[in-house]
Amino acid sequence: MTDEAIMNKALSNEYPHGFETKVASNTFAPGLNEDVIRKISQKKNEPEFLLQWRLKAYKHWLNMPEPNWAKLDIEKISYDDIIYYSEPQSVANKPKSLDEVDPELLKTYEKLGIPLHEHAKLAGVAVDAVFDSVSVATTFKDKLADAGVIFCPFSEAVVSHPELIKKYLGSVVPYTDNFFAALNSAVFSDGSFVYIPKGVRCPMELSTYFRINTPQIGQFERTLIIAEDDSFVSYLEGCTAPMRTEHQLHAAVVELVALENAQIKYATVQNWYPGSKEGKGGIYNFVTKRGVCKGNSSRISWTQIETGSAVTWKYPGVVLKGDNSHGEFYSVALTNNYQQADTGTKMIHMGKNTKSTVISKGISAGHGVNTFRGMVRATPGAVDSVNFTQCDSLLIGNSCAAHTYPNIEIGNSSAAVAHEASTSRVSDAQLFYCRQRGMSEEEAVSLIVSGFCKSVFQKLPLEFAVEAQKLLEVSLEGSVG
Amino acid sequence: MLKIKDLRVSAENKDILKGLSLDVKPGEVHAIMGPNGSGKSTLSNVLAGKYGYDVSHGSACFNGEDLLDMAPEDRARKGLFLAFQYPVVIPGLNNLYFLRQAINSIRLSKNEKILDAGQCLLLAKKYLAELDLDDSFLSRNLHEGFSGGEKKRNEMLQMMMLEPQLAILDETDSGLDVDALKTVAGVVNKMRSADRSFLIITHYQRLLDYIKPDHVHILSDGKIIKSGGPELALHVESSGYVGLGES
Amino acid sequence: MSLSMDYFKKYYEFAAEKSVGDLKQIRAKFYDRFLAHGLPNRKSESWRYAKINSWFENSYACPSVERGLSDFHDESFMNEVDILVCDGVVNIVNTDIDVVVMDLKQALQTYPEKVMSHLTKSYNYNNTGNPFADLAAAAWSSGVFIDVPPGYTLVKPLKIVHVFTSEVFLNSYNIFNLGVGAKATIVEYFTGNEDISYAHNFTTSINLEAGAVLTNEKLQNSSPFAVVQDYRIITQKNSSEYVQRQYGFGAKVARDETLVNFIGDGAKNSFSGLSFAASCSWHSSHVKILHNSSNCHSDQKFHSLVSDRGESSFLGHIFVPKTIAATLAYQDSKSLLLGPLSRSNVKPYLEIFADDVVCTHSASVGQLDKGALFYLRARGMTESEAYSILLSSFASELIKDCQSDFLRLKAAEKVKKLSSLIFIEDGV
């Protein structure tokens, strides 16, 4: 085999989650108008204020231009051809316990490695499973309730805790924020809601598993996490979708609120269907994620492993309002074949003595394009704020691209900001060295890449670090590993 | 074990090896000496299968198999080990993890049982003391921040763990102090056996004070111009390479 | 009141009215594009921090009146000048130079093809948009033309001084051309009376043929009321080397932008820049390097000091297209904020489409090392002395390599003076 052939083999990518589940669903006709929004709201038994909020967002969205500043290569999205709501019929009857959940759905999650059944549940992890537009099951609800933690589908929280929704929804990401946030605010269907009361350390990892199943559907979920004073929560989301030749839109909004001395750790393992080797199909993953460190000494960290989606467009940020608050962003983004990832973070320092850390590792292979876009801003009030950013790109093969666009805006002389970045390729010398020690080129590439990403993997909850490592290997090298 | 016949190699359109022949039998230690630019490193790189060389003529067989047709990892799996003159740095890659990957890929190719992390650690620890290294050496990243001496010791550690049939030491002695030199020689002498051979490539004679070679060859301008016993190395030490070609 | 495009019309008409033929045409092309593009807004990354409306509040005169140097108050550079440009009027002071050095208007008669080819190149390369560079090329009324013949080494540096003694809006266009294997050093000094306000908008087109080596050093010490825009467009052929050292101290608004295009293998360049944005001044440096050939190296090092209500920006952009091999590119920027209201913006961009690259960038923004400050004071220095020493050493990294003694001393002196002002103003 020539070097090139070996390299190609090493990078060949089989997407293991591309199956489709056959379930009967209640699905809206494609298209978007006020009626669709009213129908979604009605389905969810939403209070009036929420419907009005959705409609305002919709009106705002109608007057917004689609963003194109990231210069991503995106096929024109026809918003009238998207299905905005689909739920498996079995869920419409509101199963009261896991035993009533359609076995076909349970099987789907089992196949994805997320068993929901009581006897096989992931130890120490509570899971909310979102299938197309609705949550189908949430595990360990009782155990969490004992600790005072609310972990439930968003649509359930809207009914059971409208006061919390009213207070916090849109408080971090207003519907005016950007085109996709406005769209999401108008049509979001489900997602997860987490509330950690004062002084509570959430007794287990919380996790939401998103699955897109129905063709043509757009998934618009909304996640809201509120951590009251002195509380702690660690949350993880995972995402997969069937292989389809047309693109599908996923436009989520995630809002995090950390009050005094609270800590939220949010991790994402994003493995949406990336499209075929030729760049056909795949998910358009346009997500707005932002946390606000509202209270003093609060802390929010974003960790993301991005290996999926045809196009990813997301910049999880932290607004550091509270004094002594701390924001972190750790990211590994891998693009192979024709994937494009435009990701990074915004750290907005407003409080005194605030601190942020950004570590980003981008890997581009095949014809992949990987872009880091970062913003670090210190307002005049952010006295003694500190930022450290490190942002490295690794190139594999000669058809890929890696871009780095950091933006540093400092309006405060006591701020200290340091930014380091590098772009380099997997060197022939490194490959040869590993091969001389008996490893195949696939193994060598995988080893070098995992070394490159190590500092980010260390930030993942232990249970998922291994999974992330595997995911990277699969994305890079087919079955070897 | 290793049979090289009339090997001609060029790189970037420059002829480097111009008809080199060599026969290394099991259990033998051969030393190849030569001045800078004589083709020493090219020889070791070509034997290990490094990219960027063009073999225009000749052959190299390892235990009867054509070496030049094999992928680098296949050569390694069949027992050829190269101690690099300049070991590469791989940021973030744990040294012990790397060792285990290397051992297991070789073991897997021979259908042997793979070592788990614990077994590998025990094995490595056994050798660390011999190399004057402490355990923390294993938890560092591969060659990241290693001194020159540490890199060479790490090469020796790998050699001990991988137990090759033929080990090529490419200027392993360069940049080492006397103590480190003795350590390296100690490892080689200990590993010498009837079915393991060594090819020691060096510029200076001093390593050969501690490792007694069976054969010494002088490489100059891409050819072996003289072969002999250990006394040849001493001659180079006292008189240099000048005039060797004429005799 | 917001600035309208009409504001610039009279300067264009003043320059273009007497032009004929090709020149008239290309001026019109530039001006049309300037009008079509309009004034840049915040949406453009490279103009995000520019408050253009506030730049052109005065109605400047057209630079029509010839004025003598008698109106200029500082003559410290008089021994340092080969070419003196006073309010746009070019005087070749040293007639002993054995390479072609002339007023651009004269060059237009003598070397029309060379001049036109530079103008055409500027037109083609600036298609992504600095409208003021278009304006300079459309409305230039002054310019220096330097042509170093192939194989020729200019032993002594060529020294150009630009002086302003009146409140004018000057558009100028300069050409530095180095033939195959030619070597030269060009030193530029920009100054003006301290109490007047003027606008200097200029473009310099630089071309280095194969193997040519140019060192270009410049120091901007304009009036604190001046608006200065310096746009350089550089093409580098095989194995050529370009070194730029720039020092910026004066002006209310100082924006410099350099675009380099590597159009031959094995070319190299290095940029070092020091700027000191004091009081209310606004300094912005932009460097874009198009690595359009293999084996090219680029290196950028920018330090900025910002005091009081000053603001500095650095925007570096490295672009490596597909199939380009063995690229090395480095960027490094450091900003020190010295006053509580000082601001700094940094955008070190890397845009890489090839895999055979080593690119790094680092950027830091912060304040003076308090530990070092304390150390010096513990050795008996006053806070003001300690500041001055630390700022001078921060600056010296970029000043020390400057070949022009005049610029080097001037730069050191300016840093010292501006650092001493920090204490008077803040009353620390």
For residue A478, pLDDT over 50 is answered with no
Q: Given a cut of 50, is residue B51 above it in pLDDT? A: yes
Residue A208 DSSP SS3: strand
More confident residue, A276 or B188: B188
Kindly give the interhelix angle for A3-11 and A462-477, rounded to the nearest 10 degrees.
Answer: 140
pLDDT of C388 reads 85
Lowest model confidence (mean pLDDT) among A393-402, A465-474, C159-168, C264-273: A465-474
Section C314-328 average pLDDT: 93
User: What is the pLDDT confidence band of residue A5, given thresholds at 50, 70 and 90?
Assistant: very low
A217/C6 Cα distance (integer angstroms): 52
Which tokens sit at C19?
């032009």
Structure tokens at C32: 């049309």
Residue A6: the pLDDT is 44
- Which 8-state DSSP code applies to residue A244? -
Residues in chain A within 8 Å Cβ distance of B88: 427, 429-430, 433
Contact A420, A387 (CB under 8 A): no
CB pairs under 8 A between A and C: 119
Give the pLDDT of residue A255. Answer: 96
- Residue A406, chain C, CB below 8 Å: the answer is yes
**Residue A349 Cα, gap to closest chain C Cα (Å):** 14
Least confident interval from A296-300, A348-352, B86-90: B86-90
Q: Which residue of C has its CA nearest to A383?
A: C340
CA distance linking residue A270 with residue A66, whole number of Å: 24
> Given a cut of 50, is residue C298 above it in pLDDT?
yes
Separation of alpha carbons A85 and B48, rounded Å: 60
pLDDT at C123 over 50: yes
Measured between CA atoms, the residue of chain A closest to residue C310 is: A411
Q: Is A393 on the interface with C (CB under 8 A)?
A: yes
Is residue A86 classed as helix, strand or coil in its secondary structure?
strand
Mean pLDDT of A375-389: 94
Comparing CA positions, the residue from C235, C281, C282 lying closest to residue C258 is C235
Task: Tell whether B74 is covered by a domain.
Answer: yes
Q: How far apart are CA A26 and CA A28, in angstroms?
A: 7
Chain B residues with CB under 8 Å of a chain A CB are: 48-52, 71-73, 75-77, 81-82, 84, 87-88, 90-94, 98, 101-102, 105-106, 109, 141-142, 158, 162
> Which CATH number fits the domain that encloses residue B68?
3.40.50.300
Contact between chains at B101 and A430 (C-beta distance less than 8 A): no
Q: What is the Cα–Cα distance from B218 to B239, expressed in whole angstroms?
A: 13
- Determine the length of chain B: 247
A-chain residues near C364 (CB < 8 A) = 416-419
Q: What is the pLDDT of residue C67?
A: 56
CA distance A90 to C107: 85
pLDDT over 70 at A123, yes or no: no
Averaged pLDDT for residues A207-230? 88
Per-residue pLDDT, averaged over C149-159, amounts to 94
Boundaries of domain holding B39: 2-86+148-246
Instruction: Please answer whether residues A11 and A397 qualify as being in contact, where contact means their C-beta atoms are separated by less than 8 angstroms.
Output: yes
Which three-class secondary structure state does DSSP give residue C319? Answer: strand
Q: Any chain C CB within 8 A of the CB of A413?
A: yes
- Mean residue pLDDT of chain C comes to 90
Residue B29 in domain:
yes
CB B245 within 8 A of CB B225: yes
Across A41-45, A115-119, A176-180, C376-380, least confident range: A115-119
Residue that the structure tokens 């002829």 belong to: B15
**Per mean pLDDT, which range of A18-32, A424-438, B91-105, C3-17 is the poorest?**
A18-32
Residues 350 through 389 of chain C touching chain A, CB cutoff 8 Å: 350-367
B18, two tokens: 């111009």
d(CA B226, CA B132): 37
User: Across the interface, do C357 and A399 touch by the CB < 8 Å criterion?
Assistant: no
Local structure of residue C209 (DSSP, 8 states): -
Residue A49, pLDDT above cutoff 60: yes
The residue that leads in pLDDT, A38 or A116, is A38
**Least Cα separation, residue B170 to chain A (angstroms):** 13
| pLDDT, position A1 | 36
Contacts of A219 (CB under 8 A, 6+ apart): A130, A132, A133, A189, A210, A212, A248, A249, A250, A251, A252
Tokens linked to A351: 């409080």
Does the beta-carbon distance from B158 to A1 stay under 8 Å?
Answer: no
Q: How far apart are CA C428 and CA C386, in angstroms?
A: 13
Q: Which residues, in sequence order, are CB contacts of B84 under 8 Å at separation 6+? A: A433, A436, B155, B170
- Rounded Cα distance between A169 and A155, Å, is 13
Rounded distance, CA A62 to CA C166, Å?
A: 54
Nearest CB among B81, B88, B106 relative to A429 is that of B88
* Strand partners for C89: C86
| Interatomic CA distance for residues B203 and B44, integer angstroms | 14
Average pLDDT of the residues in C378-382: 78
Q: From the candidates B77, B88, B95, B154, which should be mutated to test the interface with A, based on the most A CB atoms within 10 A?
A: B88
pTM: 0.86
pLDDT tier at B245, thresholds 50, 70, 90: low
Residue B136 lies in a domain: no
What are the helix (H) ranges across A63-136? 89-92, 103-111
Contact between A264 and A256 under an 8 Å Cβ cutoff? The reply is: yes
Beta strands in C62-114 (DSSP E): 83-86, 89-92, 100-103
**Cα torsion A451, A452, A453, A458: sign:** positive
Rounded Cα distance between A431 and B73, Å, is 10
Q: Tokens 């932002």 sit at which residue? A: A290
Which distant-in-sequence residues (6+ apart) come within 8 Å of C113 by Cβ?
none
C256: nearest Cα among C218, C291, C292, C225: C218
Range in A470-479, B109-118, C218-227 the model is least confident about: A470-479
Structure tokens at A53: 């909020």
- The C-alpha atoms of residue A46 and residue A55 are separated, in whole angstroms, by 13
Q: What is the pLDDT of residue C71?
A: 59
The stretch B193-215 carries a mean pLDDT of 91
Cβ distance of A403 and C352 shorter than 8 Å: yes
* Contact state of A403 with C351 under an 8 Å Cβ cutoff: yes
Name the residue among C251, C302, C231 with its Cα closest to residue C273. Answer: C302
Mean of pLDDT values over B223-247: 79
Residue B192 within a domain? yes
- What's the burial of A429, exposed, middle or buried (CB within 10 Å: 0-12/13-18/19+)? middle
Q: What pairing do the DSSP bridges indicate for beta strands B54-62 and B215-220? A: unpaired
What 3-state class would DSSP assign to C271?
A: strand
Q: Which residue has the higher pLDDT, C301 or C4?
A: C301
| Pairwise CB contact (< 8 Å): B92 & A451 | yes
State residue C34's pLDDT score: 94
pLDDT for A234: 92
Nearest neighbour of B105 by CB, restricted to A428, A438, A448:
A438
User: Cβ distance B127 to B161 under 8 Å?
Assistant: yes
pLDDT value at residue A7: 45
Q: Per residue in B173-195, pLDDT tens?
A: 888 888 889 999 999 999 999 99
C213 touches chain A (CB under 8 A): no
Q: Could you give the C-alpha distances from C246 to A457, C145, C272, C288, C304, in angstroms and in order? A: 43, 20, 6, 15, 11
Looking at residue C7, the DSSP 8-state letter turns out to be G
Is there a domain that residue B128 lies in? no
The answer to whether chain C touches chain A by having 3 or more C-beta pairs less than 8 angstroms apart is: yes
C275: closest CA among C198, C356, C333?
Answer: C333
Q: What is the pLDDT of residue A480?
A: 26
pLDDT in tens, A281-318: 888 999 999 999 999 999 999 999 888 888 999 999 99
Residue A98 in this model has a pLDDT that exceeds 80: no
Residue A16 has pLDDT above 60, yes or no: yes
Q: Check residue B211 and report its DSSP letter.
A: S
* Pairing status of strand A326-335 against strand A355-365: parallel
* pLDDT average, residue stretch C216-233: 95
In chain B, how many domains are there? 1
Residue B121 lies in a domain: no
Q: Is residue B171 included in any domain, yes or no?
A: yes
Least confident of A246-250, B123-127, B169-173, C229-233: A246-250
Q: What pLDDT was estimated at residue C65?
A: 57
Question: For chain C, what percent of residues have pLDDT higher than 90?
Answer: 67
Which residues of A make CB contacts under 8 Å with B? 1, 3, 6, 427-430, 432-441, 443, 447-448, 450-455
Percent of chain C with pLDDT over 70: 95
The pair phi, psi for residue B135, each rounded to 5°, is -60, -30
Q: How many CA atoms lie within 13 A of A58 on its CB side?
A: 17
Q: What angle do CA C25, C28, C33 make, to 5 degrees?
A: 130
Q: What average pLDDT does chain A have? A: 86
Residue A111 predicted with pLDDT over 80: no
Query: Which range has highest mean pLDDT (A71-85, B71-85, C44-58)?
Result: B71-85
- Which pLDDT tens digit goes with each residue over C66-103? 655 555 656 677 777 899 998 999 988 888 888 999 99
SS (H, E, C) A297-348: CCEEEEEEEECCCCEEEECCEEEECCCCCEEEEEEEEEECCCCEEEEEEEEE
B45 sits in which H/E element: helix B40-48
Which residues of chain A have a CB within 8 Å of the CB of C337? 410, 412-413, 415
